[in-house]
Structure 1
């Protein structure tokens, strides 16, 4: 349900990175894309875009193909990772279609050149898109195997001078253990980068956390399943965990 913007304080964020998993797009299907779920997430992005926030996005590909799992089943790791990168392009195009149906100008920008499908990654051009209030969806990871979309999101967030990474998940923050399995799981309001690494809290992979720490880029973990959650968190409302120095 769309959020009434008049009920929210003005956000202090000018440019942010939204990182979501590919699994977030599959709804209850267990595989692939669920168009109503894609449309719902696009509406969340639109609500924030309407606040004047410049938005970058990175979407994983796990709903279609995950390179690490392919590798574990005997596929050569580099080939499996490239297949995973192509899956992220498919998800990015689906999100672009959903956003443009809401009249939000959107660009899919791929780390692997495929000019007939989307733009190649050129940093200065991407910055200009953001300045023109276009949503930029960065696809194909970093363009290199052995790196996750978490690392790609952190890399692009730094390159685009984003003020924070907002990681939308199925839970409302970072817990000391899986809240879906343990009733006594404790949620952190704030946690440091080093604590995430030392306690293996699973916010993002170690490379992404280290890159965020080295550039003092905060990570906000929140529930993407909560209607209006993205907009509310940006405005300082709701439940979330902040990862910082």
Structure 2
């Protein structure tokens, strides 16, 4: 990438957060390789702009800790199972990114040296500086914390300039569910406090509070819109910005 193109880029280092469900396509469970490949191409288009990218992917397409807990499973065990599901998703994304020629590192908060690196902040920062994509897996390594909170934590630790929340079927944050209420209003910008007070469902409350306390903006955009991620990095597109 030539230096001449870089001034048009709105952010230099970002974290992309996507749900596990975003990887399952229309099959209802697990990973759908063509869908993972499509998202990988979207990530590559931004990487090609010279942007440093890290990612956090949920595990809800395989196992969700809260759902397991609700069915009688002990919460800590259920959450650890959910963390392991995120490692599977991270490895799947790594495979697709590397098939596109992008050096990628899966970095797990739970050590499993045979398949991925342990989380060491300074090493992860160095990977980003070398233009490698870092996919952070296993949440924070602790039960009772969601991948939303893990994404906000890692974004702060990596000194990211924004969190990009990729959503399927929605182009931002609305005052009510737009799928159920056609009259729902989309916010261009919304404050952290309003997200919390109105329970707008951007992230869980702990993640929003952590972003607010560190003045880290959250960009909610449509992940299923081709070129959407790249467009926003260039200052275009439809999205909602959560900020102070």
Normalised-by-shorter TM-score class = over 0.9
1:177 aligns to what? 176
Q: How far apart, in 1, do the equivalents of 2:227 and 2:5 lie?
A: 12
Q: Is contact 2:6-2:50 (8 Å) kept?
A: no
1:155 aligns to what? 153
Which string of whole-angstrom CA distances, capped at 9 and with x for unpartnered residues, describes residues 184-224 of structure 1?
11100000000000000000000000000000000000000
Q: How far apart, in 1, do the equivalents of 2:8 and 2:59 lie?
A: 33
Q: How far apart, in 2, do the equivalents of 1:234 and 1:196 lie?
A: 23
2:74 aligns to what? 76
1:17 aligns to what? 15
Which string of whole-angstrom CA distances, capped at 9 and with x for unpartnered residues, describes residues 12-53 of structure 1?
211000000000000011111000000000000000000000
- Is there any run of 5+ residues in structure 1 with no aligned partner, and where? 1-5
SS in 2 for 1:109: strand
- Is there any run of 5+ residues in structure 2 with no aligned partner, and where? none
List aligned pairs for 1:14-93, cutoff 5 A.
14-93=12-91
List aligned pairs for 1:203-218, cutoff 5 A.
203-218=202-217
Q: Is contact 1:9-1:235 (8 Å) kept?
A: no
Which string of whole-angstrom CA distances, capped at 9 and with x for unpartnered residues, describes residues 69-115 of structure 1?
00000000000000000000000000000000000000000000000
1:228 aligns to what? 227
2:166 aligns to what? 168
SS in 1 for 2:207: helix
1:3 aligns to what? none
Q: Is contact 2:24-2:31 (8 Å) kept?
A: yes
SS in 2 for 1:56: strand
Q: How far apart, in 2, do the equivalents of 1:8 and 1:131 lie?
A: 15
